[in-house]
Amino acid sequence: MRTGLIDVDGHNFPNFALMKIANFHRQQGDTVEWVNHLDIYDKVYKSKVFTFTPDNTTVVQSDEIVMGGTGYKMYSDLFCDDTEPDYSLYPQYSNACGFLTRGCIRSCDWCIVPKKEGKIRAYRDIETVLQGRRTAILMDNNVLASDHGLRQLEKIIDTGCKIDFNQGLDSRLVTDEIARILSKIKWIRFIRFSCDTASAVEPLLKAIEKLNRFGVKNYRIFVYLLVKNVSEANERCKILKRLGVNPFAQTYRDPENKIQPADEQKRFAWYVNQKAVFNATEWEEYRR
């Protein structure tokens, strides 16, 4: 069977589902390739991660087209989830990628993880994710909430690999012991957290203080900043700026109710994320 794949979001980061689907079909003896719109396929898979990504509407010649992913608001389990990913799809990426845990203990109203993955549970071992590589981008939503996840952090230290939790860690769960563990991990670049509301500031500051005691410098800390009310987001941002922490602003979206970012939200996010501008001026001055 000839199988075609479409990464609707582009190739900016490996599509984990398509990597698993590719491996599954190759194990069945099928041919697998990125779709060439001039060719004919027995089956084509379209995967879309982000709701704001425009759909690929180019005509595809196939007996069957299967669409899936969060971007299509499709949250069902992948039929071949037990299959390991096929990295040959993305030869330009040297890092391993995957999950140690799935799900989350939180129910943030802007997050689809509770609906998509449910409560926190063990998923993979770090050595299974690495597949012989020495670096890994881990996409866990709340690894610190899982006993399995904490054991995996210890194992990461023992293996000496470098990692990045690109979805961020939960600062509310950072105890002194967890701060000690995090300080011993080799990070690809940053330790990432989020600070999406005013109530998240205090636990984040406490987590940073604990990490500082174990030698982690503030410039190694990266914080996702949700932008809903610009004035309130700016107050959070000022605190991070004074500490020398790296903020990254993300505008609030609500695809269920078709709410898109306002112009001021987008402008504020641009200001925060352009570091030369951000470091040289304050928002109140920049917006004039």
3-class DSSP state of 114: helix
> Looking at residue 258, what is its pLDDT?
65
> Looking at residue 195, what is its pLDDT?
94
In this prediction the pTM is 0.91
Domain boundaries, the chain: 1-92
> Looking at residue 255, what is its pLDDT?
58
Kindly tell me the burial class for residue 176, based on how many C-beta atoms sit within 10 Å of its own C-beta (0-12, 13-18, 19 or more): exposed
How many CA atoms lie within 13 Å of 174's alpha carbon, on the beta-carbon side? 27
Residue 154 parent element (H or E): helix 147-159
Mean pLDDT, contiguous 10-residue spans, the chain (288 residues)? 96 93 97 95 95 89 94 87 95 95 85 82 97 96 97 98 97 98 97 95 98 98 96 97 96 72 94 95 92
> Looking at residue 64, what is its pLDDT?
96
Output the six-digit token pair for 57. Answer: 């509407």
Beta bridge partners of 31: 2
State the sign of the Cα–Cα–Cα–Cα dihedral 31, 37, 41, 46. Answer: positive
Kindly tell me the burial class for residue 135, based on how many C-beta atoms sit within 10 Å of its own C-beta (0-12, 13-18, 19 or more): middle
Residue 208 parent element (H or E): helix 201-213
Query: For 21-67, how does the pLDDT look when each residue is reduced to its tens digit (9 = 90+)?
Result: 999 999 999 999 999 999 999 999 999 998 889 999 889 999 999 99
In the sheet that holds 162-165, the strands lie side by side as 96-98, 135-138, 162-165, 186-187
> Looking at residue 153, what is its pLDDT?
98
> Looking at residue 250, what is its pLDDT?
94
Query: For 9-23, how does the pLDDT look when each residue is reduced to its tens digit (9 = 90+)?
Result: 998 899 999 999 999
> Looking at residue 111, what is its pLDDT?
77
> Looking at residue 105, what is its pLDDT?
87
> Looking at residue 186, what is its pLDDT?
98
